[in-house]
Structure 1
């Protein structure tokens, strides 16, 4: 499944759709011109357990690295992913 990305000003969303249905999304906002606050990650109940949340976080990390942003993982899911993945230390604020 492909992760898609949409931005509007300082806000953005990474999301996964399948057959016209939103399976999950991760929302963020840019703060202080160089920090990406991941404030919400959600996966539909029937799509849980497939690693979609991690795919969304991975896409956000790749984007942050490209833009030279530091990430603030303020949502509970993002915090747990960052706590358990040392490969993301370079992008943590």
Structure 2
């Protein structure tokens, strides 16, 4: 699975270049982003892809020295579940 990173999303494409999984976020200020949406196509659910997308954003924001506000319910549950993410919370 190849996660593609853009300015406001990390996503996965199918063979027809359609987004089949994505996590989106907005920059709140220069030091913080807000994760506002996570989606995984029904055909891929149960494979841990949404968790990998959250991890991808966390990794990228660590590199950029930005904190995260997980407003999306799935992202919030991941932050609650994964102790290593706590240091990234705003």
Tell me which protein shows more strand as a share of its residues. Answer: 1
Q: Give the Cα–Cα distance (whole angstroms) in 1 for the partners of residues 72 and 54 of structure 2.
A: 11
Q: Give the Cα–Cα distance (whole angstroms) in 1 for the partners of residues 13 and 52 of structure 2.
A: 13
Structure 2 unaligned blocks of 5 or more: none
Cα RMSD over matched residues? 0.9
1:55-70 → structure 2 map (5 Å cutoff) = 55-70=52-67
**Structure 1 stretches of at least 4 aligned residues deviating more than 2 Å after TM superposition:** none
| Superposition TM-score, scaled by structure 1 size | 0.91
Q: Give the Cα–Cα distance (whole angstroms) in 2 for the partners of residues 42 and 16 of structure 1.
A: 10
Structure 1 unaligned blocks of 5 or more: none
Number of aligned residue pairs: give it: 89
Q: Give the Cα–Cα distance (whole angstroms) in 2 for the partners of residues 92 and 2 of structure 1.
A: 26
Higher mean C-alpha deviation, range 16-25 or range 64-73:
16-25
| Superposition TM-score, scaled by structure 2 size | 0.94
